[in-house]
């Protein structure tokens, strides 16, 4: 019996009355909800029970993104739980605090327990969890080289590079355009350091999302006839201290954190 992969296959078996008795407004919406596991075929009052049972057998329930994320965390936690933190701390640029690894992220300490759990005195930003665990497992302790490279040049970054450009660099550029003073003030509150580099950017600064994984952020302000530009560069050593997926998550998490801070503190509660 073949697996159902398209809601149209379920919709074809329905009465198409759009009666709403199933709890959703249309038969097509019901078909989509059934395929996603949110509704059972038997919830349709017009569907023959035998047909409903047959459809149920052909639906393969898939894990949600949240379930996949949690499973990934559990796997990483099990790997971290067998490590000797006292040996790891110097390599990571971390500290041992009450038997936990204290790793500084943007000026705030996040602790990983011997069981791989994350604790912090500040709000737990869950976007940092997987990158922290990867950092513990992958970091070779390579010192920062001061050679800044685009994200796309890192090993394993090919499948993430477009996402990094469109979901990290571009949203940060838009935020900087709309809230220039506030954005750079927030960067400095999170430990950013200004740098002078050749390239002519109006603002260049480094931040430390992880002790040995710095970001360089360059921003060119808009000029008459020219749009603004922004890029996020990585030290070449980043490839030996983390991986492309975690660096992508870090960047996306930072942008989302700034978005939420701006929404919270803007006068009208709007980003733009």
Instruction: Give 1-58 pLDDT, tens digit per residue.
Output: 578 878 888 888 999 999 989 988 899 989 888 888 888 999 999 999 999 999 888 8
The pLDDT tens digits of the residues spanning 147-180 come to 999 999 999 998 889 999 999 999 999 999 999 9
Closest CA to 237 of 96, 91, 129, 128: 91
First CA to last CA across the chain, in angstroms?
51
Cβ atoms 167, 156 nearer than 8 A: no
For the domain made up of 7-58, give the CATH fold. 3-methyladenine DNA Glycosylase II; Chain A, domain 3 (1.10.15)
> CA 219 to CA 177: how far, in whole Å?
10
Q: What is the predicted pLDDT for the residue at 58?
A: 86
Q: What is the DSSP string of 199-263?
A: T--SEEEEEEEETTEEEEEEEE--BTTB--EEEEEEETTHHHHS-HHHHHHHHHHHHHHHHHHHH
> CA 58 to CA 35: how far, in whole Å?
10
> CA 92 to CA 213: how far, in whole Å?
10
Q: What is the predicted pLDDT for the residue at 60?
A: 75
Residue given tokens 């990983």 in the structure block = 112
More confident residue, 63 or 248: 248
* Mean pLDDT to the nearest integer, 220-232: 94
Q: What is the predicted pLDDT for the residue at 62?
A: 61
For strand 213-220 and strand 203-210, is the pairing parallel, antiparallel, or unpaired?
Answer: antiparallel
The pLDDT tens digits of the residues spanning 78-134 come to 999 999 999 999 999 999 999 999 999 998 899 999 999 998 876 656 778 899 999
Closest CA to 259 of 268, 272, 247, 241: 272
Q: What is the predicted pLDDT for the residue at 63?
A: 57
Q: Is the pLDDT of residue 64 over 80?
A: no
Q: Is the pLDDT of residue 65 over 90?
A: no
- Over the chain, what is the mean pLDDT? 89
Quote the radius of gyration of the chain (alpha carbons, Å): 24
What is the token pair recorded at 102?
């204290």
Domain ranges (residues) in the chain: 7-58, 65-138, 148-265
> CA 264 to CA 173: how far, in whole Å?
19
Q: What is the predicted pLDDT for the residue at 57?
A: 86
- Taking the model in full, what pTM does it have? 0.74
* Mean pLDDT to the nearest integer, 199-226: 94
Confidence at 239, pLDDT banded by 50, 70, 90 = very high
């Amino acid at each position: 019996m073949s697996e159902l992969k398209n809601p149209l296959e379920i919709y074809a078996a329905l009465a198409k009355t759009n009666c709403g008795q199933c709890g959703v407004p249309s038969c097509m919406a019901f078909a989509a909800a059934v395929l996603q596991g949110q509704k059972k075929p038997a919830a349709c009052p017009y569907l023959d029970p035998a047909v409903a049972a047959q459809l149920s057998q052909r639906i393969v329930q898939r894990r949600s993104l949240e379930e996949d994320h949690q499973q990934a965390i559990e796997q990483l936690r099990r790997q971290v739980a067998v490590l000797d933190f006292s040996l790891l701390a110097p390599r990571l640029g971390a500290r041992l605090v009450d038997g936990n690894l204290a790793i500084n992220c943007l000026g705030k300490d996040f602790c990983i327990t011997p069981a791989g759990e994350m604790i912090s005195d500040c709000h737990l930003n869950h976007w940092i969890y997987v990158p922290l665990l990867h950092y513990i497992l992958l970091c070779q302790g390579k010192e920062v080289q001061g050679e800044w490279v685009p994200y796309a040049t890192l090993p394993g970054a090919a499948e993430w590079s477009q996402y990094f450009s469109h979901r990290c660099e571009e949203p940060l550029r838009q935020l900087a355009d709309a809230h220039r003073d506030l954005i750079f003030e927030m960067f400095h509150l999170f430990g950013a350091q200004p740098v002078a580099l050749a390239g002519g950017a109006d603002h260049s600064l480094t931040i430390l999302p992880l002790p040995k994984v710095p970001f360089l952020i360059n921003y060119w302000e808009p000029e008459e006839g020219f749009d603004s530009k922004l890029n996020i560069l990585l030290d070449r050593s980043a490839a030996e201290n983390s991986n492309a997926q975690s660096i992508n998550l870090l960047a996306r998490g930072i942008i989302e954190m700034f978005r939420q801070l701006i929404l919270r503190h803007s006068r009208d509660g709007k980003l733009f």
